[in-house]
C-alpha cells in the first residue's frame, strides 16, 4: 500500500494537530552582487490548498497503526539514518504533543528533526524545526543558524514573510553567539550578518517587483522600508567584516546598491 504519511505529518505539524490512530488528520528547510544605478539593480538570487490535501488523505491509509516509540535511545540511530517508520514517526509526534516536560519534548523533537533531515524531507524538517524553535526551545544557536540559512533559500519563492523569519532566527542565533569560540565564532557570526543582509535585500527585491506590477501606496511604503532595512543590515555586515579582518567587498556592494550612495557605506 502506498504510504502518504510523510505528507500527512507535514501538514499535521503545520496545523498544530496530532496524528493519531483512528482520527482523521489533516494533511498537510547568497551571496548577491549588486551594482549602483539610478534604479534598483538586482542579481538573480506550493503547497496545495489544505482542502485538497484533506481529500487526498481520505481513505483506509489513514487508519494505519502507530509504531512503538517507547525506547527513544534505540530510535535515535535510526533517525540519524532517516530510517524511522511512518508508525514510529506518528508515535513520536503524539508523544511529543502529550508530554508535559520540556526536556522530553526537546529530545523527541530532535529525533524527528534528525529523521526528516536524513530523508531530505525539507518541508517536514522546516515544519518540525519551526515548531521546536517557537514552542520548545530557541536557545540552541546552531539550530537557529541552520534554520535561518535554510530559510534564506526559500525567500525567492515565499517572499517577505520568509525573509522576516530568516532575520528573526539569525538574530536569535546572534543572541547566543557566545556559545561559539575561535574560528567557528568568527565564521558563523559573519555568515549570520550576511544572511540577515541578504534576506533584507531579497525582501526589498520582492517588494520592488510587486510594486512594478501593481503599484500602490502601501507597497511603495513597504518597499522603501525594506530598502532602508537592507542598507542598514548590509552596513552592519560590512562593519563586522572590517572588524574581523574579513573581505567586505560583497557587503559594501550590497550596501551601496541599497543606499544609492557610497558615502552611507563608508566605515
What SS3 string covers 90-110?
Answer: HHHHHHHHHCCCHHHHHHHHH
- Going from the C-alpha of 98 to that of each of 18, 95, 117, 165, the distances in angstroms are 9, 5, 23, 27
- What is the C-alpha separation between 57 and 61, in angstroms, rounded? 8
Q: Has residue 31 got a pLDDT over 90?
A: no
Does residue 49 have a pLDDT over 70? no
Q: Alpha-carbon Rg of the chain, whole angstroms?
A: 21
Residue 225's H or E segment, with its range, is helix 217-243
Separation of alpha carbons 86 and 94, rounded Å: 12
Separation between Cα atoms, residue 120 and residue 204, nearest integer Å: 30
> What percent of the chain shows pLDDT beyond 70?
76
**Residues 187, 188, 193: CA angle, nearest 5 degrees:** 100
Per-residue cell: 163: 525573509
Dump pLDDT digits (tens) for 151-169: 999 999 999 999 999 999 9
* pLDDT tens readout for residues 214-252: 999 999 999 999 999 999 999 999 999 999 999 999 999
SS3 category, 21: coil
**What local confidence, expressed as pLDDT, does residue 109 receive?**
98
254 contacts: CB under 8 Å, gap ≥ 6: 32, 34, 197, 198, 201, 230, 234, 237
* Predicted pLDDT at 267: 86
| pLDDT tens digit sequence for 176-206 | 999 999 999 999 999 999 999 999 999 999 9
Over residues 44-50, mean pLDDT: 39
How confident is the model at residue 66, as a pLDDT?
A: 81
Q: Longest C-alpha distance within the chain, in Å?
A: 66
Q: How far apart are CA 73 and CA 54, in angstroms?
A: 34
What pTM did the predictor assign?
0.74
Question: How far is it, in rounded angstroms, from Cα 241 to Cα 247?
Answer: 6
Q: Are 25 and 53 in contact (CB under 8 A)?
A: no
Q: Say which range, 7-11, 38-42, 76-80, has the weakest mean pLDDT.
A: 7-11
> Hey, where are the domains in the chain?
1-29+46-137, 139-267
Q: Which residue has the cell 501593481?
A: 214
Q: Are 247 and 241 in contact (CB under 8 A)?
A: yes
Tell whether the model's pLDDT for residue 34 goes beyond 80: no
Per residue in 75-123, pLDDT (tens digit) is: 999 999 999 999 999 999 999 999 999 999 999 999 999 999 999 999 9
Closest among 153, 86, 97 to 126, alpha carbons compared: 153
pLDDT of residue 63: 41
**Grid cell of 113 as nine digits:** 528533526
Contact 42, 34 (CB under 8 A): yes
- Smallest Cα–Cα separation from 237: which of 201, 184, 183? 201
Does residue 64 carry a pLDDT above 60?
Answer: no
Amino acid at each position: 500500500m502506498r504510504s502518504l504519511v510523510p505528507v500527512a505529518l507535514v501538514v499535521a505539524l503545520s496545523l498544530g494537530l496530532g496524528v493519531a490512530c483512528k482520527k482523521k488528520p489533516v494533511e498537510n528547510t547568497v551571496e548577491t552582487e549588486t551594482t549602483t544605478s539610478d534604479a534598483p539593480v538586482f542579481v538573480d538570487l506550493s503547497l496545495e490548498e489544505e482542502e485538497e490535501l484533506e481529500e487526498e488523505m481520505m481513505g483506509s491509509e489513514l487508519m494505519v497503526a502507530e509504531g512503538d516509540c517507547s525506547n527513544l535511545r534505540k530510535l535515535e540511530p535510526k533517525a540519524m539514518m532517516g530510517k524511522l517508520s511512518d508508525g514510529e514517526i506518528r508515535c513520536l509526534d503524539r508523544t511529543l504533543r502529550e508530554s508535559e516536560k520540556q526536556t522530553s519534548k526537546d529530545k523527541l523533537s530532535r529525533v524527528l528533526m534528525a529523521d526528516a533531515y536524513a530523508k531530505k524531507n525539507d518541508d517536514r524538517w522546516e515544519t518540525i524545526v519551526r515548531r521546536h524553535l517557537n514552542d520548545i526551545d530557541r536557545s540552541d544557536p546552531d539550530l537557529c543558524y541552520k534554520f535561518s540559512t535554510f530559510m534564506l533559500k526559500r525567500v525567492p519563492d515565499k517572499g517577505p514573510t520568509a525573509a522576516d523569519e530568516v532575520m528573526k532566527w539569525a538574530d536569535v542565533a546572534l543572541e547566543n553567539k557566545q556559545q561559539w569560540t575561535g574560528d567557528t565564532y568568527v565564521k558563523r557570526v559573519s555568515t549570520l550578518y550576511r544572511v540577515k543582509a541578504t534576506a533584507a535585500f531579497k525582501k526589498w527585491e520582492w517588494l520592488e517587483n510587486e510594486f512594478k506590477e501593481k503599484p500602490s501606496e502601501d507597497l511603495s511604503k513597504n518597499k522603501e522600508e525594506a530598502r532602508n532595512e537592507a542598507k542598514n543590515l548590509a552596513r552592519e555586515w560590512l562593519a563586522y567584516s572590517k572588524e574581523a579582518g574579513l573581505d567586505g567587498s560583497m557587503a559594501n556592494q550590497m550596501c551601496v546598491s541599497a543606499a544609492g550612495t557610497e558615502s552611507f557605506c563608508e566605515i
